[in-house]
Amino acid sequence: MTDIDMIRAAARRLDGFARRTPLLSSPFLDRIAGRRVLIKPECLQHTGSFKYRGGRSAVSALDAATRAKGVLAYSSGNHAQGVALAAREYDIPSVIIMPMDAPQLKIANTRDLGAEVVLYDRAGGESREALGAALQAERGLTLIKPFDEPQVIAGQGTCGLEIAKDAAAMGIARAEVLVCCGGGGLTSGVALACEADAPGLTVRPVEPQGFNDVARSLTTGRIQRNAEVSGNLCDAILTPEPGQMTFPIMQRLCGPGLAVSEEECLTAMGLAFQRLKLVAEPGGAAALAAALFHGDQITGDTVICTISGGNVDAGIFARALATLLPPESPPR
């Protein structure tokens, strides 16, 4: 089980590899939110999301002989790229299993990072787990799960160590920390780091409306599932349910969950473009959207928001830009 010592050890292994992201701000966002808003821009992390932290943490934690055989991940998104880059840095093979209908750009990017991409026919009922198990058996690959894996949680927790340190340097003793939440790897890791280094910071998960499995699980005290895991712009943070490892940590440490609409995420992306000069993906803008548009559910004079990733297609980003334009002038 992940603890603060594992997070600190992960931070040592990531030192010189992961980017040390700052806390950013804009007086314009403060005014919209009605309080100080600090942004942790993990879109600036290598591969464009916090997932590199967990990927590198997990790969670097393997013993050398195991690692040399290579790693395996199921992912069509940010986790794939994080694992692929970490594997390339160690000069070991990585195999990423992706659905055949994943966007070509994501497949190309993952290959460009040195991974072997194996496609499976999701629609035709092919099982990625069976495919993965066969590859593991055949080639001795180690599976790196996207969130329910102690060293992945430890890696994501390094983001929390940085938040705790920078908040202390700014004299912030109490604040809510809003974290874009899918399976809960980042949320639980940041919560563990804050528990140790900044106990006045309270982590709260932010999810898309209609996909708030974590919030409902926290309310009911038992793991709840989403009815659907697709059909929302915030694809990076859509998961069926919280992890077996992440949920108990969130239950012990987190405040209540928040939920945001797709339109709020697009508007937050537009404001991140305009006021922070950052590119956020829809799911990566969820925490900022909560800070800006659900301030009535937040307490205190300062809120800290992760922007968890920035891997968004130009077409969707154009929709975010359109939120900035007056209604009479459609986006070009």
What residues line the site for its own copies (CB under 8 A)?
19-20, 22, 24, 27-28, 41, 43-44, 48, 109, 112-113, 270, 273-274, 276-280, 310, 314-315, 317-319, 321-322, 324-325, 329, 331-332
For residue 124, give every residue at least 6 positions away whose Cβ sits within 8 Å of its Cβ, in sequence order, or none.
none
Based on CB atoms, which residue is closest to its own copies, 228 or 313?
Answer: 313
Pairing of strands 36-41, 302-307: parallel
Q: At its nearest, how many Å lie between its own copies and the CB of residue 136?
A: 28
Backbone angles phi and psi of 16, in degrees to 5: 90, -5
CB 303 within 8 A of CB 178: yes
Nearest 5 degrees, angle CA 221-CA 222-CA 228?
A: 125
Based on CB atoms, which residue is closest to its own copies, 240 or 273?
Answer: 273
Select from 129, 127, 182 the least CA-distant residue to 152: 182
Q: At its nearest, how many Å lie between its own copies and the CB of residue 15?
A: 13
Nearest 5 degrees, angle CA 235-CA 237-CA 241?
A: 115
Select from 6, 36, 15 the least CA-distant residue to 305: 36
Based on CB atoms, which residue is closest to its own copies, 93 or 150?
Answer: 93
Based on CB atoms, which residue is closest to its own copies, 20 or 225?
Answer: 20
Q: At its nearest, how many Å lie between its own copies and the CB of residue 75?
A: 19
- Please give the helix or strand (H or E) that residue 178 lies within, else none: strand 175-180
CB 36 within 8 A of CB 47: no
Based on CB atoms, which residue is closest to its own copies, 24 or 218?
Answer: 24
Q: How far apart are CA 208 and CA 221, in angstroms?
A: 20
Q: Can you give the three-state secondary structure of 121-153, one letter per residue? A: CCCCCCCHHHHHHHHHHHHCCEECCCCCCHHHH
Based on CB atoms, which residue is closest to its own copies, 172 or 203?
Answer: 172
Q: At its nearest, how many Å lie between its own copies and the CB of residue 48?
A: 6
Q: At its nearest, how many Å lie between its own copies and the CB of residue 308?
A: 11
Based on CB atoms, which residue is closest to its own copies, 125 or 330?
Answer: 330
Q: How far apart are CA 294 and CA 277, in angstroms?
A: 23
Q: At its nearest, how many Å lie between its own copies and the CB of residue 277?
A: 3
Q: At its nearest, how many Å lie between its own copies and the CB of residue 21?
A: 9
